[in-house]
Amino acid sequence: MALSNSVRDGVRDREIALEQEHLDRVYRRLEEKLDEAEFVLNDAAKRVQVGTPGALAERDAQVFRAGIHLNRLNSEFEDFLFGRVDLLAGQDAERGPDGALTSTEPAGDAVGPDGRAAVAETLHIGRLGVLDADYAPLVIDWRAPAAAPFYRATPKEPGRVVRRRVIRSRGRRVLGVEDDLLRPELRVTLDGEELSVVGDGALMAALGRARGHTMRDIVSSIQAEQDVVIRAPAGGVTEVTGGPGTGKTAVALHRAAYLLYQDRRRYAGGILVVSPTPLLVAYTEGVLPSLGEEGQVAIRAVGSLVDGLAADTYDEPAVARVKGSLRMVKVLRNAARGVLEGPAPGAGGGAEALRVVAFGRTLRLDAAELADVRRAALSGTAPVNLLRPRARRLLLDALWAKLGRERALTDPELARQERAAFDEDVTTEPEFLDFLAAWWPPLTPLAVLAALAQERRLARWARRVLSPGEVRLVARSLRRLTGGARAGAPGTLSVHDVALLDELRVLLGPPPVTTVRRIDPLDQLTGLDEVTTFADRHLGGRRDYREREAERTEYAHVIVDEAQDLTPMQWRMVGRRGTQATWTVVGDPAQSSWTDPQEAARARDEALRSRSRRRFTLTTNYRNPAEIADLARRVLALAAPGTPFPAAVRTTGAHPRFAAATEESLGGAVRAEVTRLLAEVDGTVGVVVAMDRREQAATWLDGLGERAVALGSLEAKGLEYDATVVVAPSGIAAESAAGMRVLYVALTRATQRLSVLSTPADDPDADGVPALLR
């Protein structure tokens, strides 16, 4: 029998009041805990002057724990408490560490023959576990095993759950509740009264909310298939695929929080989340703090993985295609060794011949002899910077041979002493030191990368690897670096350059740390300038090295978001950061902007090595309403034929809108459409254009406010907007060999409305529908 509105409202108000009571109890308990934590801190501070080292260490540990507690309790969670499950009696009465019954299946007699049952246990689920003074659970941490039924229970497999409730609260006030009945066939009582049910569809309520510029956590509405991924065991590699909007990014972030909860000690080694763009980093980085996790997780764009760099410019597709390819490994290997020939980076020349005075004789090595020495030094496999001491030794050998003393010295001990004196003599000569600094300077990755800008040299290093056309493209793209590199600054690095720099970092090794030479006062009179220059150079190198040592380059767990977009070179870079790690890799091949998926798959396998793989597929699209999904599916059929499209979970009744404009009127048309959409939706409007229209598109939106943003096709990765305007789709599709997949990404960003604006190049029909989408 349908309930009247007033009865329904009465039930709702009563249930809200009940949840409010519980929330009040939770906050009272939190305040007690806060007082305790403050007491511990004050107490520890009082004991600061006294005590043995052991007591002081214990005090530090206490302060540390209390500090963490305080921080977390002080954070203003929007909805600290968000869920509740009412459960039947379990098969046994065992309780876990959080105080909840551990049994997942109901007892045989939990349901009477007449379909009557009683709730035996009620659990509230929140962002943090809270026990009352008697250690009974007031709130279960969402990541605890006892919370799993809240996410996993379905009408088909309800386990012990009879009712699942999502509680909406802000600060200390409960605003609403939404219930799901998992066993509607039963007549269930709670404290002697029939179980009431309020509202319908917590998930729909969550999905219908307007989007802002930052992602929200989904902790109150994680779906069963997502929960399985979040809680999958940590070992090996967890691979997750799924179409647009299936929650891959959300799941990946919640998994990071889950892993930390599960094994905080292990993940003290850090969790790295690799994201394709700085925009997606900015969009997602609030999620973990909202789950109570900060500090241990680094979310980094793939262009910011090398510390101190933050590249966000893109090479044109033809250049990116070469720079991202594994062929660059060979080129960089050649460059790392070959760069010492010819004008060495960072050195002012003067390394064509060596002339030193030792033992009263002037000794010379000419260009050919020096080339032989260099070749011999480079025959080792060690990183180039680490070969420098060997090169220095070989130079001394060559000079010693010139002196011709070897044969004259028959007594080995005398020979050894004289050789040592010779070495000392030569290596304190400013000429020798300056020569060495110019002939074999400590190499930095940036300097070597900048050397690739010289087409002739690059052609030599890329012989039989890159075509002349490719050499030209790469050299030209790196020319913008050369000014910056000379000044010691990174210049304008592209996202793809960063992976090359990381490769070079390994090929070159750290610049050598030399002991600063003790300076003879006489030397100071004669060669002060040179000595200072030399020391400066080396100290500079040392500083770099120390900085690099300080950065974290290895993580305990690596999460790769939008994994389909990593180029092979980027896989190598990411792989180096998790050689001992466990991994979670999420992505959707149909959205890949990389042109050679097979090569990327090879590099990915190499990065993940032989670790065991656990594979999951997410199947429901929570972002796009069916009307938008239908259009996107048409492009998917062109972009990645045969790929299943995830089922959209909502409909809005609003179909995509189409309009056509000329190139001249395009800006005005986009502006008008955005204005209209801003009035139709509460949240954000994103305008997606081909990469080369980005700057132009920003001007179209001038003065429309912060809710409207323009972005290039590659920047749209992973983001979402309430409404999206996709501009000139055929231009996006033609950007690269992967253009159709990039267009597919653009068409799947909207949560409410999608408009497509065509230019004549899109060949629109009379309704403005471009040829590609008909």
Ligand X SMILES: Nc1ncnc2c1ncn2[C@@H]1O[C@H](COP(=O)(O)OP(=O)(O)OP(=O)(O)O)[C@@H](O)[C@H]1O
Regarding 207 and contact with ligand X (CB under 6 A), the answer is yes
Structure-block tokens of residue 18:
């009940």
Regarding 748 and contact with ligand X (CB under 6 A), the answer is yes
Contact stretch for ligand X (CB under 6 A) within 218-226, 368-376, 453-461, 665-673: 218-226
Regarding 623 and contact with ligand X (CB under 6 A), the answer is yes
For residues 636 and 646, give the distance between their C-alpha atoms in angstroms, rounded to a whole number.
Answer: 11
> Helix %, strand %, coil % for the chain, to 5?
45, 20, 35
Maximal CA-CA distance, the chain:
116
Taking a C-beta distance cutoff of 8 angstroms, is the pair 746, 713 a contact? yes
Q: Is 243 annotated as a binding residue?
A: yes
For residues 560 and 384, give the distance between their C-alpha atoms in angstroms, rounded to a whole number.
Answer: 31
Which lies closer to ligand X via its Cβ, residue 273 or residue 322?
A: 273
In a 10 Å sphere around its CB, with 0-12 CB exposed, 13-18 middle and 19+ buried, how is residue 231 labelled?
buried
Which lies closer to ligand X via its Cβ, residue 334 or residue 624?
A: 624
**Interior CA angle at 606 toward 600 and 610, to 5°?**
130
Regarding 752 and contact with ligand X (CB under 6 A), the answer is no
Which lies closer to ligand X via its Cβ, residue 358 or residue 586?
A: 586
Q: Which of 250, 449, 631, 677 touches ligand X (CB under 6 A)?
A: 250
Amino acid letter at 297?
A: V
Regarding 718 and contact with ligand X (CB under 6 A), the answer is yes
Q: Which of 226, 241, 277, 730 touches ligand X (CB under 6 A)?
A: 226
Contact stretch for ligand X (CB under 6 A) within 111-119, 219-227, 230-238, 629-637: 219-227
Hey, which residues does 375 pair with through a beta bridge? none
Q: Is 246 annotated as a binding residue?
A: yes
Which lies closer to ligand X via its Cβ, residue 461 or residue 744?
A: 744
Taking a C-beta distance cutoff of 8 angstroms, is the pair 535, 529 a contact? no
**Least distance from C-beta 622 to ligand X, angstroms?**
4
For residues 741 and 94, give the distance between their C-alpha atoms in angstroms, rounded to a whole number.
Answer: 52
How many other C-beta atoms are found inside a 10 Å radius of the C-beta of residue 224? 13
Taking a C-beta distance cutoff of 8 angstroms, is the pair 270, 647 a contact? no
The number of CA neighbours under 13 Å toward the Cβ of 304 is 17
Which lies closer to ligand X via its Cβ, residue 218 or residue 387?
A: 218
**Least distance from C-beta 161 to ligand X, angstroms?**
17
For residues 124 and 596, give the distance between their C-alpha atoms in angstroms, rounded to a whole number.
Answer: 49
Q: Which of helix, strand or coil describes residue 224?
A: helix
Q: Is 269 annotated as a binding residue?
A: no
Q: Which of residues 185-204 bind ligand X (CB under 6 A)?
A: 203
Q: How far is CA 662 from CA 608, 754, 771, in A?
A: 49, 20, 16
For residues 742 and 740, give the distance between their C-alpha atoms in angstroms, rounded to a whole number.
Answer: 5
Q: Is 83 annotated as a binding residue?
A: no
Hey, which residues does 234 pair with through a beta bridge? none
Which lies closer to ligand X via its Cβ, residue 78 or residue 663?
A: 78
Residue the block writes with tokens 């070079």:
504
Could you tell me which residues come within 8 angstroms of residue 53 by beta carbon, excluding any fewer than 6 positions away?
Answer: none
Regarding 747 and contact with ligand X (CB under 6 A), the answer is no
Which lies closer to ligand X via its Cβ, residue 718 or residue 731?
A: 718
Regarding 248 and contact with ligand X (CB under 6 A), the answer is yes
Binding mask 559-598 for ligand X (x = CB under 6 A): -----------------------------x--x-------
Regarding 624 and contact with ligand X (CB under 6 A), the answer is no
**Least distance from C-beta 34 to ligand X, angstroms?**
31
Regarding 232 and contact with ligand X (CB under 6 A), the answer is no
Regarding 218 and contact with ligand X (CB under 6 A), the answer is yes
Q: Which of 245, 278, 445, 625 touches ligand X (CB under 6 A)?
A: 245
Regarding 736 and contact with ligand X (CB under 6 A), the answer is no
Regarding 622 and contact with ligand X (CB under 6 A), the answer is yes
Regarding 684 and contact with ligand X (CB under 6 A), the answer is no
Q: Is 248 annotated as a binding residue?
A: yes
**Total chain residues near ligand X (CB under 6 A):** 23
For residues 502 and 499, give the distance between their C-alpha atoms in angstroms, rounded to a whole number.
Answer: 5
Where do contacts with ligand X occur on this chain (CB under 6 A)? 203, 206-207, 218, 221-223, 226, 242, 244-250, 588, 591, 622-623, 718, 720, 748
- What residue numbers does the annotated binding site for ATP cover? 242-249
